[in-house]
Amino acid sequence: AQKVTQAQTEISVVEKEDVTLDCVYETRDTTYYLFWYKQPPSGELVFLIRRNSFDEQNEISGRYSWNFQKSTSSFNFTITASQVVDSAVYFCALSDTKTSYDKVIFGPGTSLSVIP
Amino acid sequence: DARVTQTPRHKVTEMGQEVTMRCQPILGHNTVFWYRQTMMQGLELLAYFRNRAPLDDSGMPKDRFSAEMPDATLATLKIQPSEPRDSAVYFCASGLVLLAGGPAKTQYFGPGTRLLVL
């Protein structure tokens, strides 16, 4: 069965600290997609990244970086030098051919608080 | 900057009343999704459309919920009659699928409709 686990329910860090949000997924498919979304206090879901299962290269975008490891079924997200504006709920998500790519399965989310 | 729009942003209604939520997908996107977000269940897919045709509505309570796409620029989600347990944030998302059976490049979400049923 497909599943996304985000074991960290809530994280608090002090501004400028680095923080890593964990994501572990389960799928029997060999072709799948992984996503991260951000939901700030305003409520809108903001797309951050999409990664397919054949691309294990790590990605860096500004202060954001993603570590995809198929061996451990993990797709972790690191924010470097966190800022107050990073405070949000972050969702990891998965879609694969078993559920059709359209059915994105979301994890429960990790609530990040960045304290000034 | 293309965005998914949803109306209304907030809705308070009484149990038993009909609720209609509207979504305008990003122009050119051929796939539209409806999600519900609650504290207990998280984000759940209710239904989705491809080229205006319903593909899956298995996540939706059939007896009271209905979803339609009257045209390519409008998707609606209706609850009749509404119940307190329907209180949630309802998100619409849209995406573009280029190949049959292939994935949407990504799903772009609207701001949501926050529904409270008293």
pLDDT tens digits, A21-49:
999 999 998 889 999 999 999 899 999 99
The confidence score (pLDDT) of residue B62 equals 85
Has residue B17 got a pLDDT over 90?
A: yes
Neighbours of A9 (CB within 10 A): 9
The confidence score (pLDDT) of residue A59 equals 83
Has residue A101 got a pLDDT over 80?
A: no
* ∠ CA B9-B11-B12, rounded to 5°: 155
Taking only the tens place, the pLDDT of each residue in B21-45 is 999 999 999 999 999 999 988 999 9
Å between B17 CA and nearest CA of chain A: 25
Q: Mutate which of B107, B113, B115, B116 to disrupt the A interface (most A C-beta within 10 Å)? A: B107
Neighbours of A100 (CB within 10 A): 14
Taking only the tens place, the pLDDT of each residue in A42-81 is 899 999 998 888 888 888 889 999 999 999 999 999 999 9
Mean pLDDT of B9-16: 97
**CB-based contact A42 B91, cutoff 8 Å:** no
Q: Do residues A59 and A52 touch, judged by C-beta distance below 8 A?
A: no
